[in-house]
Structure 1
Amino acid sequence: MKIVVCSLLVLSVISCIQAVSVSQCHDDETPLDDLSDRIKIGNCRKPPCRLRKNAKIAFEMKLSPDRDITKLTNSISAFVSGLPLPFPGYDQTDACKGIYSSDGKTQVGCPLNKGEDYLYRNEIEVLQVYPRLKLVVHWGLVDQDGKYLICLEVPARITN
């Protein structure tokens, strides 16, 4: 019995270390059970993720489209006190530039084929002028038809 309890505890700790707890956007059409396992945000292990001023925060997301994709656009904003504020220079930009093969070695861009695995990479610069505050980061990839391929939200806070 002790072995089983210890094994479960170790597995729980490992799963917490490997994934960031994120939630899917409410308007996302395709629910994903393993969303937290698909995402990597800087060195964040659990929310709220710390976004340090004067730093670039790396973002990775594993993708496997359920349809063919010819174009992807970033939808990146911060919800501050419930109000969406777009990230200037990132929101509504071409997301195809950040599409890589599933091993992350080759930049492949668009189009994306249904059922194939890809890795999306991007980074956001947290400017010194940003105030220290708590927020929810909304990050989505919108296809050529205006539908989300994937969309997530994660609590964060801007720190010095």
Structure 2
Amino acid sequence: MMIKYLTIAALIGSCCSIMLKYTDCGSHGTIHSILLEPCDELPCVIHKGVSYTTHINFTATQHASQLSNVCHGIIAGVPTPFAVNPINACGNGVKCPLQIGANETYTATVTCPSDVNSMRLAGKWEVVDQNGHDLICFVFPLEIVD
């Protein structure tokens, strides 16, 4: 797996950016930048019940008629689904059908479940096409706290 970098920006106070290592887990698109708000430290500290928004700028390398967001927390090697709003990645800054070579930025929000244990884990974010193939897939470190 190839290690890349994820740009994180904080919403609270003055906006600052940090570079966070992430692992591409099989993207068929080219990721240019990823903003996760709010997050201002490494690993990203996620609070239970709080919503976090991601903005992903990418270039499509395949045609796609539909795109869906999928988010998991990887706990002890087991992917646990996290609810994503919206599930449909089209129309949230992404024009579908998505054309090869299109440079897009889409926005989606995920809320950390209130009933999970506090722990360090890996977050896995995917944008999948109508055939279930990953247009975008990356894994990044995070910590869930109360």
TM-score over 0.5 for the pair = yes
Note if 1:158 corresponds to 2:134: no
Unaligned runs of 5+ in 1: 1-15, 101-107
Residues 36-78 of structure 1, C-alpha deviations (whole Å, 9 max, x = no match): x511111335542111123111111102101221111222111
Query: TM-score normalised to the size of structure 1?
Result: 0.70
Match of 1:84 among 79, 83, 86: 79
Match of 2:87 among 93, 96, 100: 93
What CA distance in whole angstroms lies between the structure 1 residues aligned with 2:29 and 2:21? 15
Where does residue 113 of structure 1 map in the other structure? 99
What CA distance in whole angstroms lies between the structure 1 residues aligned with 2:90 and 2:103? 14
Unaligned runs of 5+ in 2: 1-15
Note if 1:135 corresponds to 2:135: no
What CA distance in whole angstroms lies between the structure 1 residues aligned with 2:85 and 2:91? 14
| Structure 1 position 82, deviation (Å) | 0.8
Structure with greater strand percent: 2
Label 1:41 to 1:134 Cα distance change in 2 as closer, same or farther (>3 A): same
Match of 1:73 among 68, 75, 78: 68
Where does residue 35 of structure 2 map in the other structure? 40
| Structure 1 position 96, deviation (Å) | 1.7
Query: TM-score normalised to the size of structure 2?
Result: 0.76
The higher radius of gyration belongs to 1
Q: Calculate percent identity across the aligned residue pairs.
A: 24
Find the residue that maps to 2:20 and give its secondary structure: coil
| Structure 1 position 80, deviation (Å) | 0.4
Amino acid at match of 1:39: I
